[in-house]
Structure 1
């Protein structure tokens, strides 16, 4: 092989020495895992993949309260403390904020915890969203090392990170749709269940009364017509087949009040029907109003709820 001329060797040597110095400097500033010395995992959270994954859920006993759960999973090998959390979705007019407790909540490594959050008002100016339409949601978190562990830099103050919030059950879409349907329906009429329950002599069926009071007509601001397409049963009560429930009930603002008598029977008589009930006294009305179709859930209220529980217990006990 030909050797380099002497003048070329003299020019190349300084370049090799400079490159070696750069490599030596780089090797002294790195540690195992590629993180700069003195930098915690929390400090890189804002630039690296989020150390926490998020999913949206809702417990059945919170269906009528518009409270959902942000379920956070710690994907790291060390405990983290969540100091604050806010979910952002275009379906709602404001951020969905977790009312953090003092000191936050600790996420052990590899574990999931649920943060209950109340929903703000839905953005009903948006066109109705179909169940098949994916609506993006993002959760913003502030994390810190848990109490009793060393934390420096941004870890002590709380590192910010964001994660896409999966919504596999369409919780956000369902709640926003129901809130917008309820708002549009309330502009047409007030709908409630009377607290009295009329139980038949054989205690096998009973009658609940749905009272509909239309709003006064508001001149040019006509809220339109509300149609109760059908009334659905619940996990606790069902339609008495001998006296079918009405359907296609039309209601207009300024119209006459209506009382709909619904003959009910127990939907189930297993031992846990009443003991584990969460939504059995939320009467679902399938309605059409203001260009929207959806469920309008009418809460029985505490008095009627207790009477329905007693009715179901007695009726099932006599079968």
Structure 2
């Protein structure tokens, strides 16, 4: 949420909440932000899952409101509702992005296969597409994370395609450590969130996050520590 204050009186925001039929409503997010004179300050607002059509993309977002608890100067906290117009550019983009991803996930499950094999300083795995709905699902690429480099065993684009009449397909990938500093292993919150760029029926390319199951995450950590010489 973009906030502007053109006065010398500070405005304190206690919490914020987005209310819209396009996204599930989640509890208010504590803001704890004091806005002094400024042309623009952006405050984050959480939102829930998108309300996507079952078989297409929404034309745009619908009217929404931001519910805030705030106070001006030394006044007591009060509730203020800010209206957002229909087809707000940011909400429309977020809605379209999430619903494009939803369509891909409806057509196929994209995941890592169960077999992970250590090969010297590499780990070999497979990226698997399994049929869920209808449509041709194409994976154009898979990217590494903050801690791991991932690459297809066979370089090609698209990386793999699940044809409309196929139930399952897979392609081999190779994983190597991307960082070897000890500090990195203590802050690995996003180490296993691999972005996959995919389309369904030639539509918009979207990013699907693919994450190995916990046992494989533990194996990857152990593998990286060994390769980096940090397991002692």
Asked if TM exceeds 0.5, the reply is yes
Aligned Cα root-mean-square deviation (Å): 4.1
Q: Which has the larger radius of gyration?
A: 1
Q: CA, structure 1 residues 263+109, in 2 after alignment: closer, same or farther (shift >3 Å)?
A: closer
Q: Is the 8 A contact 2:145 2:190 kept in 1?
A: yes
Q: Of the candidates 181, 184, 201, which is equivalent to residue 100 of structure 2?
A: 181
The answer to whether the 8 Å contact 2:18/2:47 transfers is no
Match of 1:140 among 67, 72, 75: 67
- Residue 287, structure 1, aligned to residue 194, structure 2: no
Give TM-score, length-normalised by structure 1.
Answer: 0.53
TM-score (norm 2): 0.69
Q: 1:231 touches 1:285 (CA, 8 Å); kept in 2?
A: yes
| SS of 2:191 mapped into structure 1 | coil
Give the counterpart of 2:28 among 77, 89, 100: 100
The answer as to whether partners of 1:194 and 1:210 remain within 8 angstroms in 2 is: yes
The aligned runs of 1:212-223 (5 Å cut-off) are: 212-215=129-132, 223=134
Residue 125 of structure 2 aligns with which residue? Answer: 208
Residues 46-61 of structure 1: pairs in structure 2 closer than 5 A: 54-55=1-2
| 1:224–1:289 contact (8 Å) kept in structure 2 | yes
Q: What is the CA-CA distance between 1:257 and the residue it aligns to?
A: 1.9
Unaligned segments of structure 2, at least 5 residues = none
CA positional deviation for 1:299: 1.7
How far residue 252 of structure 1 moved from its aligned partner, in angstroms, is 3.0
Q: Residue 303 of structure 1 is aligned with which of 201, 215, 230?
A: 215
Q: CA deviation at 1:282?
A: 1.7
CA distance in structure 1 between the partners assigned to 2:144 and 2:80 by the alignment: 46
Long gaps (5+) in structure 1: 1-53, 56-71, 130-135, 165-169, 217-222
Q: What is the deviation of 1:263? A: 1.5
CA distance in 1, matches of 2:213, 2:94: 20
Is the contact made by 2:67 and 2:81 (CA closer than 8 Å) also made in structure 1? yes
Whole-angstrom distance in 1 between the partners of 2:113 and 2:50:
27
Change (3 A) 1:268 1:107: closer
Q: Secondary structure at the match of 1:303?
A: helix
Report the alpha carbon displacement of residue 79 of structure 1 after superposing the two structures with TM: 6.6
Aligned length: 217
**CA–CA separation in structure 1 for the residues paired with 2:185 and 2:162:** 33
| 3-state SS of 1:87 partner | strand
Looking at secondary structure, tell me which structure has more strand per residue: 2
Q: Which has the higher helix share?
A: 1
**Counterpart in the other structure of 1:121:** 50
Structure 2: distance between partners of 1:120 and 1:225:
24
Tell me how far apart the structure 2 counterparts of residues 88 and 208 of structure 1 sit (CA, whole Å). 42
Give yes or no for the alignment of 1:80 onto 2:8. Answer: no
Change (3 A) 1:79 1:285: closer
Alignment correspondent of 2:82: 162
Shift in CA distance, 260/293, structure 1 to aligned 2, threshold 3 Å: same
Q: Which residue of 2 aligns with 1:224?
A: 135
